[in-house]
Amino acid sequence: MVSYIRRGGVAALTAALALAIPLVVTQSTAASGGAGPADACTSSSPCLEWDNLAKGSGLVGTSAKGNGIVGQTKSGSTTSSHAGVQGIDNSSHNFRNYGVLGTSALGDGVAGFAGTGVTHLDGTGVWGSSTLTNGVEGEIEGNAGGSVAGVRGVDLTSNTQAAGVLGISNVGIGVSGFSTSLNGVQGISKSGVAGGVYGENDTPGGFGIAGRNTVDGVAVFADNPASDGLYPALYVNQSHGSLCPCDEVIVNNTTDFTMELDTDGNMFLLGSLTQNGLLRDTTPTSTGRKVVAYAPRDSQPAIEDFGEAQLVDGQASVRLDPTFASTLDPRAPYLVFITPDGATTGSLYVASKSATGFTVRENGSGRSSVVFDYRIVAKPYGSSAPRLPLYTPPHHARVHLPAAWHERG
C-alpha cells in the first residue's frame, strides 16, 4: 500500500484502500484561468490534505515557469488571523525543524510582499512571531563571498519614515546585534545630512545612543579620517540654544561630576588642566573687537590679591580680606610688593606680617602721607604641588579602530 493518502470523501477513500493505488478524486470545478481541475468545498476542515507516514514530503509542487504552490486566503475577519500559506512544526525537538522552509540556489529562499494587489495596504512582507524563541532568524552558512547578511532588509520607497529593517519592543531591545569578531551593529549612510547610526529617545532622562564596555576598553569611539579637518570627530549640539545655560557634556565618575560644559561655553573641571601650548584668552576692547591675551605662568601654585592703602605719618596697617586670608597656606609666608603713588622722604617697607594683615612703614623716620599700591602673592591652602616638576605625558593604551571602520559604503 502506498504511504500517502489524498482525502476526498469516504467513498473515494474506500476505493483507494481497496485498490492500494494513489487516490484520484473527481474535481468539482475547473481551476480559475488554468488548464487543470480544482477542488471546492464549504467545510471548516481542509478541502485537501496529504499525509505522509514516512520521511518524505507531504506535498510537493513544481512548475517549469510559474509558482510551485500558491496559497490564498480571502478572509475578511478582524478578530482572528489567517494565512495564505501556513506551516506548522509539531516535532518533539527544535533542531533544524521549520514550520515553513524555503531554499534557493541563487534567488530568495522566502519572499514576502504586502501592499500591492491586496486590500490591506498596511500588511507585512514577512512576519514572524514566537512565544519561545526568535520570531525571525536568518543564518549564513559557508563562505558566500561579498556583502551578505543573515537577515537583509531593503527599503526602495521614497518615504523618509520607512526603514530597511525595523525593530520594535515594548520591554526588551528593539534591535540587537552580536558578534564575536566584528561590529555588533554597523550602519553606513551616504547622505550628508544623515548618520550611519541614529539613536533617539523620547522619554525624559533617556539616552539617544548609549555605549558601554564591560572590560577595560572604549565605550564610545569617534574618528574623522579626513585630511582637510573641516569637521570634528565628535560634535555635540544642544537644541535649547540660548534659552538656557544647559549642559552640553557631563563626565561623571559615579561619585561626582568631574567635567561639565554648558551651552554658554562654561567649563567646570574637578581635577587639573594640563596643556602644552600657550594659555590664551580673548578679551573685548573699547573698539568692539576682541584681542587675544596670554595668561601668566608661575613656577609653583600661587594665589594673589592686590589693592591700595593710605600711608599716614609714615606708617599704615593693612588688613587682609578675610575670604582671601582663608585661602592662604598658614604654614608658608606670603609676599607683599609695595609701590607708592607719590613722593616720600624715605622708602617704604613691610615692617610686619600676620595671618590677618601687614604693616607698612617709611624709612628714615619719614612721616609721609601718600597712597600706595600693594600686591600679595601667597601659597594656596591645601596645595602640595612641587615647584617646576618634570612633565610626563599621560600613557594610554593604543586604541584600535573598530572593524570595518574604514568602509565608506
Query: β-pairing, 50-52 with 267-269?
Result: unpaired
Which of 46, 124, 44, 117 has the alpha carbon at shortest distance from 88?
46
Q: In angstroms, how far is the first alpha carbon of the chain from the final one?
A: 60
* Domains along the sequence of the chain with CATH: 4-52 (no CATH), 241-294 (no CATH), 303-378 (2.60.40.2080)
DSSP 191: -
If DSSP codes are grouped into helix, strand and coil, which group holds residue 320?
coil
pLDDT value of position 254: 79
DSSP string, 74-96: ----SSS---SS------SS-SS
The neighbour count for residue 259, using CB atoms within 10 Å, is 14
> What is the number of residues in the chain?
409
Q: What is the Cα–Cα distance from 247 to 240, expressed in whole angstroms?
A: 10
Strand ranges across the sheet with 247-252:
247-252, 257-262, 267-269
Q: Are 215 and 225 in contact (CB under 8 A)?
A: no
Which of 127, 123, 118 has the alpha carbon at shortest distance from 168?
127
Q: What is the Cα–Cα distance from 327 to 124, expressed in whole angstroms?
A: 70
Which of 176, 158, 159 has the alpha carbon at shortest distance from 167?
176
The neighbour count for residue 348, using CB atoms within 10 Å, is 22
pLDDT value of position 63: 83
Q: What is the Cα–Cα distance from 216 to 218, expressed in whole angstroms?
A: 7
Q: Is the pTM of this model over 0.75?
A: no
Could you read off the pLDDT of 235-263 as tens digits, one per residue? 888 776 667 778 888 888 877 888 888 88
User: Per residue of the chain (409 residues), what is the pLDDT tens digit?
Assistant: 444 444 444 444 444 444 444 444 444 444 555 555 556 787 777 777 778 888 778 788 888 878 888 888 877 777 777 787 888 877 777 666 777 888 777 777 777 776 554 444 456 777 777 777 777 888 877 666 667 788 888 888 888 888 888 888 888 888 888 888 888 888 888 888 888 888 888 888 888 888 888 888 888 888 888 888 788 888 888 776 667 778 888 888 877 888 888 888 888 898 888 888 889 999 999 999 999 999 999 999 999 999 999 999 999 999 999 999 999 999 999 999 999 999 999 999 999 999 999 999 999 989 999 999 999 999 999 999 999 999 988 888 888 888 776 554 4
Q: What is the Cα–Cα distance from 384 to 272, expressed in whole angstroms?
A: 13
| Residue whose C-alpha cell is 519614515 | 161
pLDDT value of position 381: 97
Could you read off the pLDDT of 9-18 as tens digits, one per residue? 444 444 444 4
Q: Are 208 and 201 in contact (CB under 8 A)?
A: yes
If DSSP codes are grouped into helix, strand and coil, which group holds residue 17?
helix
Q: Are 259 and 251 in contact (CB under 8 A)?
A: yes
